[in-house]
Structure 1
């Protein structure tokens, strides 16, 4: 955001020209990472490693103007390719939904040392909810973003559950924004399974793990079998925690592991909402709290389904992006005026006038790097006299 020595500020939220994923890309280590992939007879250059796990690494690759993501699987401890076969099988069967990452194809990569690895060529997405949570610095996201994310994920889960699948590892890092499609999408189906045919004992990530999955994991560690497998309800629990984190701006891993949470999670949810409600309109807060609570019943049979959650009144409330920006900017000081030109000059910019220069400087510091409507915020100071006279630059100076 930008202000002059006066109190006017200019905020720009340009489209992201270079897609990035939630995890900060590592510089490619040429000793451990491939420099290129040959995919269907075409050479793709590795630009960055986007993430690395126990069983696979994800890279951003490009060929000409095209960019994609490659997920390269390592050979497992038994010398097999279970992880690759599992995820590719699930992805093939659930393709076609706008809120699920697109699988372009599968291929085998032969590195210079003669080792063959199995790979997935995937749609390249942008920032994840995990990165968005880091950026809010203990301040919750706007209602517009929370509503957008909740609806998109519920649409994906509704489809996934109708197809009989449980995602089983829903967490902020596995929900990514697509700037091209202007929606959130689910990724990483390595732990997914057909409901009633659970072939993975240890599911979900700590902090987003449903009580029944926690019990199942504990039994498995003790060498015991649980009476029944987990159901689609585990995904709703995870989403409830994610939305609560987006609202509060606080990671809740330690909270949900506490005895207080186990004794009365509903009271903790109420406390979180009462502590943050002052910066949000009352009616949306009430409906969002009700939506989240419906996902966090300890008994999975009482939890809301994805389809039922989608008809919660929270989704009938229209959140205007302009009001959303004003609401966000007011967190840092008194906003005198806010202007979003719809045509040049100034199109694509947001001009925010604060009551004093101190508030403007604080807003500039805290808003830079945030996102609105899936776009990164770049901020700069702008001459108050030019703003008052209606002289608006076409681009950030």
Structure 2
């Protein structure tokens, strides 16, 4: 039996983090337990410097143009609705939400129109940096691809072209648990392209590259760019996420122009960037369908959502659950078998953990499964992602009973369904 006094002092500060490897998805359900208050058991906890929680993302109106007073005469912003009318439908709002527009007078004669947008989290550009040239997990690539394709399917159905897709313009929404599009400054209505120079170097479609070159020479292009330019950009982004490499110079090379398909095959065949056990050929085929030089041959966004790639049940890596915040926090290496098999100690420790977690914000629910999957793991659902982020920051790297505690986030949708991931440390 474990004495009550044995828990005091188990939590230490300043402990280094440990690398944790793969996750596998296994359905399971556990029961939360409650017990007496044991606040005195905790020691050595750092203060919580927690700001207000992030506002929940609202649903923006149909695509609109919002003019801004700027030196170039105006910047346009296009937003998408959460519930779409097209046949594919959308799971959630997948474009940044506009809360309002206001004017600031920095000087008497130069008023500035400002947009109040929802606060989002990490960008795909940052995720690529964190991947350390190893590439992102298939779960993350699949998640990003689906979210962006849903956004594009809606925008294209409404007749709009984003025209500047790149890793920096795809951000994670912790509250909606999805990737969202931002920066619609180059967007235009298809068939009425009023922007001469579109897309960013490295993610620019061949037809947009030609159009930009002609515009620089003072010549008019015979044709306008279409929504197909967005699919080209997304194809490059997904290829970069898979390979972990920036492809700006690759896509501008003569080798790429001569046979891009062979280069894509080489990237996927490389043992340095793919595990042989992972079925990656569906992703390869999806990317190839987006990167045809002829825009008329590129797969539309709505059709791309039907790719077999999205039917594969990938599970996130531990790194994914650290980098992508959600309202649910998961604590690993907290409870061992001794605590789980002693009902009195189990209830005491669970209540103690709950009281400590409540210091960072209101706890909606707490789950500590006694059986696998998830045995001994602590799942804490907060009212918003801002609170869970504060808790994750302050609990990560601590020690409990001589063991490193790993604090990660956890998909709220999976938690609500009772799906738990079995973690291999």
Which one of the candidate residues 287, 291, 296 is aligned to 1:292? 287
Do 1:72 and 1:119's aligned partners in 2 also have CA atoms closer than 8 Å?
no
C-alpha displacement of 1:95: 3.7
> How far 1:289 sits from its partner (Å)?
0.3
Output the TM-score relative to the length of structure 1. 0.65
Counterpart residue number, 1:121: 116
In 2, Cα distance between equivalents of 1:201 and 1:327 = 38
Q: 2:97 aligns with which of 94, 102, 111?
A: 102
Please say if residues 268 and 284 of structure 2, whose CA atoms lie closer than 8 Å, have aligned partners that are also in contact. Answer: yes
Shift in CA distance, 340/197, structure 1 to aligned 2, threshold 3 Å:
farther
Partner Cα distance (2:132, 2:56) in 1:
30
SS at match of 1:308: helix
- Contact map agreement 1:72 1:120 (CA 8 A) in 2: no
- Which among 318, 333, 358 is matched to residue 313 of structure 2? 318
CA contact (8 A) 1:68 1:121 kept: no
* C-alpha spacing 1:252/1:326, structure 2 compared with 1 (3 Å): closer
**In the alignment, which residue of structure 2 is the partner of 1:207?**
202
1:219 alignment partner, one of 204, 214, 223: 214
Measured in 2, the distance between the counterparts of 1:96 and 1:326 equals 29
Output the CA distance in 2 between the equivalents of 1:315 and 1:231: 25
1:134 is matched with which residue?
A: 129
Structure 1 spans left out of the alignment, 5+ residues: 1-7, 13-62, 330-337, 350-374
Of 288, 293, 298, 1:303 maps to: 298
* Shift, 1:272, TM fit: 0.7
Determine which of 159, 162, 183 is the counterpart of 1:164: 159
How many residues matched? 292
Answer yes or no: is the 8 Å Cα contact 1:11–1:379 preserved in 2: no
Query: 2:246 matched to which residue of 1?
Result: 251
Structure 2 CA distance for partners of 1:65 and 1:143, relative to 1, 3 Å? closer
Residues 256/305 of structure 1: CA separation in 2 closer, same or farther (3 Å cut): same
Secondary structure of the 1:131 match is helix
C-alpha offsets along residues 88-126 of structure 1, whole Å, 9 cap, x if unaligned?
xx33xx344510110111111112665310111111100
4+ residue segments displaced more than 2 Å? 8-12, 63-69, 71-75, 94-97, 111-115, 276-284, 324-329, 338-342, 375-383, 392-396
Contact kept, 8 Å, 2:20 with 2:318, in 1: the verdict is no
1:108 match: secondary structure = strand
Conserved 8 A contact 2:54-2:119:
no
Counterpart in the other structure of 2:173: 178
Give the SS at the match of 2:280: helix
Cα 1:297/1:138, change in 2 over 3 Å:
same
Contact 1:340–1:348 under 8 Å retained in 2: no
Partner of 1:347 in structure 2?
378
Distance, in Å, in 1 between the alignment partners of 2:255 and 2:53 is 53
Is the CA contact (8 Å cut-off) linking 1:216 and 1:226 kept in structure 2? yes
Output the TM-score relative to the length of structure 2.
0.61
**Cα shift at 1:320:** 2.3
Q: CA RMSD in A?
A: 3.8
- TM-aligned CA distance change 1:11 to 1:301, over 3 Å: same
Tell me if structure 1 keeps the 8 A contact 2:170–2:182: yes
Which structure has the bigger radius of gyration? 2
Question: Per-residue deviation at 1:280?
Answer: 2.8
Matches within 5 A, 1:1-397: 9=18, 75-77=70-72, 80=73, 82-83=74-75, 86-87=76-77, 90-91=78-79, 94-96=80-82, 98-111=93-106, 115-276=110-271, 279-282=274-277, 284-321=279-316, 324-325=317-318, 343=368, 346-348=377-379, 380=397
Q: d(CA) in 2 for partners of 1:117 and 1:157?
A: 30
User: Partners in 2 of 1:340 and 1:304 — Cα distance?
Assistant: 48
User: What is the CA–CA distance in structure 2 between the aligned matches of 1:395 and 1:287, rounded to whole Å?
Assistant: 33
